[in-house]
Amino acid sequence: MDVKDRIVVVTGAAGGIGRALAQRFAQAGAKTVVCVDIDEEGAKRTAAEVGGVGLRLDVADEAATGALIEKVETEIGPIDLYCCNAGISMRGGPEVEDAAWQKIWEINVMAHIWAARHLAPRMIARGGGYFLNTASAAGLLSQVGSAPYAVTKHAAVAFAEWISLTYGDQGIKVSVLCPQAVNTNMIKGKEDGVAAVNGLIEPEPVAEACLKAIEA
């Protein structure tokens, strides 16, 4: 997909990878970049930087996700590329409380499922569309010290594969982002951790890699 003249939604756009994605898509000529985040002010700051639209979204809320998709498609236009980028991490293993497991599951996995539930049928009806789902190298390997992060990122990769296999012939394309340690707020305080031993990746090269993958 060529993102020029396309309508793009990026979740987790207030900073980090999401902000870099919004900037890169705008530079590539996207018609409108819709920057969403639970941090509404942060989303609006990124939107102002790229000439886009900033909106609040708690990706752990399916109804809010459906409403956002409806709002964008009604007021701006059909979404060509939806970037499920928002995510969280936490330390621990099976001792992590159920509520925390549920929270990371909703943000790192269900947010992807809800986006597809509300948007894939629309995309299929008009001939296709694109999902860029942010997972992690932890979804291909594991995450030392964090079972919830490793498990949810594996699930995110698996769901993206399923979407591609199931809807690929109906025009749905999928890319999955699986970087190691990226220099974002998520890594602060953990710069000397296992994931960072090979050095931190800056968000901008990550966004560039995503654009090239989508174009290819």
Rounded to 5°, the CA angle 111-117-123 comes to: 115
Rounded to the nearest 10°, the torsion over CA 62, 96, 92, 116 is -20
Q: Judge whether 167 counts as a catalytic residue.
A: no
Structure tokens at 80: 């060509």
- The DSSP 8-state label assigned to residue 92 in this structure reads B
Query: How far apart are the C-alpha atoms of 39 and 106, rounded to whole Å?
Result: 17
From the candidates 82, 130, 149, 167, which is the catalytic residue? 149
Distances (CA, A) of 88 to 51, 146, 186, 215: 27, 11, 7, 28
List of E strands, the chain:
7-11, 32-37, 53-56, 81-84, 129-134, 172-177
Catalytic residues: 149
